């Protein structure tokens, strides 16, 4: 069998990323995470993210535990995540 492996480069507009994340934040993901902190306390989490800020989240079941693990979402970590998906799961990108 003859196979050829190629890599394709694509640009993803910020608006698409924002739309997907808003859907996730407002839709089905909020049962497992807790927004612990945002860079712009007077704005909703998604506004903070796209004002070049950050959102710090944790597992909703661990939020009361001391020293629980948190994850920071910002433009750089989102970019890194998209790149990892494209590299390791190309059929999903």
Residue-wise pLDDT for 48-84, tens only, equals 777 888 999 999 888 888 888 999 999 999 999 999 9
Report the distance separating Cα 85 and Cα 82, nearest Å.
5
Q: Model-level pTM?
A: 0.76
User: Looking at the DSSP assignment, which residues form a beta bridge with residue 58?
Assistant: 34, 70
Domain boundaries, the chain: 31-92
Report the distance separating Cα 31 and Cα 17, nearest Å.
21
Of 18-22, 45-49, 82-86, the range with the lowest mean pLDDT is 45-49
pLDDT, position 92: 63
pLDDT, position 93: 57
Helix 14-26 vs helix 75-88: crossing angle, to nearest 10:
90
- The winner for highest mean pLDDT among 4-8, 10-14, 26-30 is 10-14
Conformation bin of residue 67: beta by default, left when phi > 0, alpha when psi is -120 to 50:
left
pLDDT, position 49: 79
């Amino acid at each position: 069998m003859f196979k050829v492996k190629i890599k394709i480069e694509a640009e993803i507009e910020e608006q698409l990323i924002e739309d997907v994340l808003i859907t996730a934040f407002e839709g089905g993901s909020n049962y497992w995470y807790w927004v612990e902190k945002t860079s712009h306390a007077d704005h909703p989490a998604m506004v903070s993210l796209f004002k070049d800020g950050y959102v710090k989240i944790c597992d909703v079941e661990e939020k009361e535990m001391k020293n629980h693990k948190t994850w920071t979402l910002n433009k750089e970590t989102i970019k890194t995540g998209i790149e990892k998906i494209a590299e390791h799961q190309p059929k999903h990108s």
